[in-house]
A and B are shown apart, each in its own frame.
Chain A
Amino acid sequence: MFDIFSFCADPAVLDTGKWFACYLTTGKHMAFYASFGTVLLLLAITAPTALAFGFGGAAAARSRIAPLRWLGKIYISGVRGIPDIAFFLFFVIALDQGFEWLRHQWLCPDWDQPIRQGNDFVVCAAAKLPLNTADQSVHEWYGFATAILTFAIVFGAFSANVLFGAMRAVPKGQIETAEAYGMTSRQTFWRVIVPQMWVYALPGLSNLWMVLIKATPLLFLLGVEDIVYWARELGGTKQPRFTDYPHGDWRLWYFLALLVFYLAFTKVSEIVLDRIMRRLTLGQATTGGEAQRVAA
């Protein structure tokens, strides 16, 4: 491993401080630290994707075309009325089977057996996702991608609800003025409603961001090797026969570390979001904006 840890060759003879220095830098611990990156990566990809889903959902829900409007409303209220964890468990299989079924229809048109045979779901070998011959890392990335899509669908519904409310909160006078200037409804939407809705959406969106952070441990249920997986893996009792660093059941300490990580993360987010909110309210026709104007 690293040169500075050359004394780690025989952990059994080390004193406590050095033992921990060696223990906390094993390859598996490095994977544990990297999994914090996995969580951050998930958040970094999911947040904008969910926002895009939410924007689409909100725009659909206020569409003038009835079927599109129904679709948007069903999406928003359907996802929100049901425990999300059920969705997480549902979508991962459903999406996987959906993709395989589509590829099956496309790639193997002359397949004549039924796809559901009793308790089995059978598609032709060419339609498997990922292919049976694919590398292990492809399987892991595919799992991660389905997880992201699932998060985006679920949180998209919630952000759609927030954005839908925010679009309606833009003062009527603004929209009437836009219409008086002869803007089409498309122009009004893009030039008046969208730029102004963010200040109304931010409290809801920042709440959602907090909830999203706190939902990331569910990655573990989706089979991704995230921080919960590693905390269980590393914390469990280690026998001297299998490792150079035997120890008892330390899961408690690992989970305590995760707890501290999440507390720090939500606290920092809170501070940052407060700043953004103050920046956004500047010059807006709201009580917050007025308070800043008076103070300045």
Chain B
Amino acid sequence: MTCWETIQAYAFRSVGWGERLLPRDDFTLCQQFTLIGSGMLWNIYFGVFALLLGFCLATVLALGKNAGSRWLRKPSEWFILVFRGSPLFIQFFLAYLIFLQLKTVGLAPEAMTAAWAGALVVLFLNTAAYSAEIFYGALQSIPKGDVEAADAYGLSGWPRFRRVVWPTMLRLAWPAYTNEAIFLFHATTLVFFSGFPAFQQRGDALYYANYFADKTFNPFVPYPILAGYFILLTLIVIGLFGLVNRRLNRHLPDARRSKLRVRPQIIR
């Protein structure tokens, strides 16, 4: 099989399109690159959707934690504590088991025990909790003068939030939020190692890298390939978030713009 044929057969293997049987022996470098890259589709899918959904919930949670009313504050605080205080690995296990139980009594749809929906829900809630803590920190450090100026202009309620508080919060939180995004993409590799089964061996990049390492007993090829893909993905995330950062800071003179400092973290 030439490399081009391999790519045709396996490029979308992870989403169930193309050749069904995984290679069993005579593993070529091309096969490893193609299949691990194919698995990256899952990592991107999980990361992008969890971030988009998580961003909305995180804003709500941060406002909740910042609220004066106990009834809004306490639930947000507890939510953040539970998801930030426990390992994501355990959260995946637990969520899978809960979805399994709910499915048997008919409360949850079939899809929730499949990774594409179930794991996405866990990642979404998890990133919402971590981002909410970042946003909450930013809300706390909004300069008093900004809010006073908004009051002086007669802005209050929704317009004040929409035009003053929220943009400032985002600007302050953005560098930390970029780290959180990178961190989340790294966390997506946990999905198929914790509870959620890979249906018909359709797994993520790490799943295939692990498959090759197990079969060839040689970790020195598949894992560096995986590492290369992830470094590329991280650079893309940094680039995209940098664009948003530039837009958020567009009113500031160059010297005062907050530079993105990227410090990728580890497992949660």
Contacts and interface: CB of A to CB of B under 8 A. Distances in A.
Interface residues of B, number: 44
Contacts of A90: 213, 219, 223
Q: Which secondary structure dominates where chain B touches chain A? A: helix
A215 interface: yes
Q: Which secondary structure dominates where chain A touches chain B? A: helix
Interface stretch (A11-19, A41-49, A79-87, A195-203): A79-87
Interface string A241-262: 0000000010110011011001
Interface stretch (B58-66, B81-89, B159-167): B81-89
B216 A119 contact: yes
B231 A82 contact: yes
Given A116-B218, A252-B94, A93 B186 contact: no
Contacts of B153: none
Contacts of A112: none
Given A89-B210, A116-B218, A252-B94, A214 B101 contact: no
Nearest to A262: B86
Interface stretch (A61-69, A102-110, A216-224): A216-224
B82, B93, B101, B217: most-surrounded residue (chain A CB, <10 A): B93
B230 interface: yes
B227 A255 contact: no
A34 B185 CA distance: 34
Contact of A267 (B25, B85, B226): B85
A197 B221 CA distance: 39
A83 B85 contact: no
B11 interface: no
Interface stretch (B112-120, B138-146, B248-256, B260-268): B260-268
A259 B90 contact: yes
B190 interface: yes
B87 A85 contact: no
Interface of B: 25, 27, 81-82, 85-91, 93-94, 97-98, 101, 185-187, 189-190, 193, 206, 209-210, 213, 215-220, 223, 226-227, 230-231, 234, 263-268
5 contacts: A84-B266, A85-B193, A89-B219, A121-B217, A154-B266
